[in-house]
Amino acid sequence: MPELPEVEHVARGLRPHVLNHKIIDVTFSEAVKSGKASGKETIIKQIALDDFKKFVTNTTIELIERRSKYIIFHLMKEHHQTIYCVGHLGMAGAFFVKPSVEDIPIPNYKKHWHVQFKLSNGQMMIYSDIRRFGEFKILDESAFKTFNQNIAPEPFDEHAMDYFLNQCKQKKFKNKPIKQVIMDHSVVSGCGNIYACEALHLARILPMHITHTLSTQKKKKLFKCIVDVLNKGIQYGGSSISDYRNVEGESGDMQNKFNVYGLKQCNTCGHTISTIVIATRNTHYCEKCQK
Ligand SMILES: [Zn+2]
């Protein structure tokens, strides 16, 4: 699943091609249309396709924001009223900006396009998704405010560490394994399975420790390590695990920088990597480096 660094690169890749352009039409794939017709919420969530199209058409893309693992399009309607189109890439979603679907450079993504936004500059902003776990929602001002409040501050914000330390004390989280807690976006925003494993390794903390048993000093160290691995992920263009592709159809290099995730031997000490399932997610750790 794309995590914060991968989504950050998708947002960065989209901006130069689509900002300040108008959406003049929206087209859905047959899979989206038949899915919605049979009562499944295929990609377009909580709104009928006609209504989605009505809301989005004739708006100007004034801002593209990444928030946790979401891409948020601020769409300005006439009279300067803004609506928010909140996108999530699911397991393997990708955006392309091309004159047509035929120009998508990767066959699998060309075949599995699902939403096309026709832009006033003659380009198409195309959402492709091989596994169809991605989603789009339309939120008004107050729904957007609620959405934002339910997610922890961005990890790079100055208040994010205090927020994290406070959330760790809450009844909901204090008796859960630390790895599960840092993957919850109401505790840390944008940290999924891969970066959680890497951050715990960097902090030399075992993933199964119950949150309240860790000292404040250790939790602070862990939070700094989360920020470090997310920054490193951004620096290397994200990882190519889970079919991640940026707007140019490229994957990142971060997978070559992993110290523990998906490896047989620890990149730091050479010890065999151990695996454990925590809250349904495969967790990789080094029993020699992490205590
Ligand atoms: Zn090790």
Angle between helices 160-169 and 216-235 (to 10 degrees): 130
pLDDT on residue 80 = 86
Of 33, 118, 281, 288, catalytic: 281
Judgement on whether residues 258 and 170 belong to the same structural domain of the protein: yes
The answer to whether residues 106 and 183 belong to one domain is: no
User: Ligand 1 mean position to 5 CA, how many Å?
Assistant: 24
Q: Ligand 1 centre from 233 Cα, in Å?
A: 20
Distance from residue 288's CA to the centre of ligand 1 (Å) = 5
155 occurs within a structural domain: no
Torsions phi, psi of 25, nearest 5?
Answer: -165, 160
What's the CA gap between 100 and 95, in Å, rounded? 13
Cα 202 to ligand 1 centre (Å):
10
* Token code pair at residue 230: 């997310």
**Is 36 a member of any domain?**
yes
Same domain, residue pair 279 and 175: yes
Burial category of 227 from C-beta neighbours within 10 Å (exposed 0-12, middle 13-18, buried 19 and up): middle
Residues 216, 89 share a domain:
no
Q: Is 207 a catalytic residue?
A: no
d(CA 218, CA 245): 35
DSSP 8-state secondary structure symbol assigned to residue 18: H
Of 114, 149, 184, the position where a domain reaches its end is 149
Q: Are residues 64 and 124 in the same domain?
A: yes
Please report whether residue 291 resides in a domain.
no
Neighbours of 102 (CB within 10 A): 7
- Between CA 268 and CA 277 the distance in angstroms is 22
Let me know whether 252 and 207 are in one domain.
yes
Domains: count for the chain: 2
Residues 69 and 90 in one domain: yes
Which residues lie closer than 8 Å to 161 by C-beta, 6 or more apart?
A: 220, 223, 224
pLDDT tens digits in sequence order for the chain, 291 residues long: 899 999 999 999 999 999 999 999 999 999 999 999 999 999 999 999 999 999 999 999 999 999 999 999 999 998 889 999 999 999 999 999 999 999 999 999 999 999 999 999 999 999 999 999 999 999 999 999 999 999 999 999 999 999 999 999 999 999 999 999 999 999 999 999 999 999 999 999 999 999 999 999 999 999 999 999 999 999 999 987 767 888 888 888 898 899 999 999 999 999 999 999 999 999 999 999 999
Pairing of strands 281-285, 274-278: antiparallel
Q: Is 3 a catalytic residue?
A: yes
What separation in Å is there between the alpha carbon of 270 and the centre of ligand 1?
6
| pLDDT for res 242 | 61
204 Cα to the center of ligand 1, angstroms: 9
Q: Of 116, 149, 182, which residue sits at a domain end?
A: 149
Residues 276 and 190 in one domain: yes
Q: What is the DSSP string of 150-198?
A: TSPPPTTSTTHHHHHHHHHHSHHHHTSBHHHHHTSTTTSSS--HHHHHH
- Ion ligand 1: residues, Cβ under 5 Å: 266, 268-269, 271, 286, 288-289
Catalytic residue among 69, 98, 179, 219: 69
Which domain range does residue 40 map to?
Answer: 4-149
- Let me know whether 45 and 141 are in one domain: yes
Question: pLDDT value at position 226?
Answer: 98
- Looking at residue 239, its pLDDT comes to 86
